[in-house]
Amino acid sequence: MSTITHGEHKPKSDQDQKKMALGHVKGAWMDAWLDGVDSECMAQVSLFVTLTELVATHGEDATARFAASLPKRISAGEFSLPRSKQ
């Protein structure tokens, strides 16, 4: 992941950039939700944007290999949020 700096800002670590990006994405989801956009629609559009960016950055073959790894990772619970006990 490349690091873009503006003005006097120090380059951010990969971890810091991911935290910042997550905050921006969560904000966009909240804005869309407040505008009445369904979460399923946001999820599908987000996947489209993500895959488009990955193809532009890494190419179709690398993106296809990444996508092929997803079923196993999903089944293993890598993307599942912990469920709260009520």
User: Which of 10-14, 40-44, 50-54, 77-81 has the least mean pLDDT?
Assistant: 10-14
Note whether residue 86 is domain-resident. no
Across 64-85, average pLDDT: 92
pLDDT band at 7; cut points 50, 70, 90: low
Note whether residue 7 is domain-resident. no
Closest CA to 21 of 44, 49, 40, 55: 49
pLDDT digits (tens, 9 = 90+) for 41-61: 999 999 999 999 999 999 999
Note whether residue 64 is domain-resident. yes
Note whether residue 3 is domain-resident. no
> 33-58: b or e for each residue (b if 16 or more CB lie within 10 Å)?
eeeeeeeeeeeeeeeeeeeeebeeee
pLDDT digits (tens, 9 = 90+) for 23-39: 999 999 999 999 999 99
Note whether residue 41 is domain-resident. no
- The reported pTM is 0.71
* Number of compact structural domains in the chain: 1
For 79, list phi and psi in degrees, rounded to 5: -110, 10
Q: Domain containing 59: what range? A: 49-78
Note whether residue 42 is domain-resident. no
Quote the CA–CA distance of 63 and 54 in Å, as a whole number.
Answer: 6
Whether 1 shows a pLDDT value over 60: the answer reads no
**AA identity, residue 2:** S
Tell me the Ramachandran region of residue 21: left when phi exceeds 0, alpha when psi lies from -120 to 50, beta otherwise.
alpha
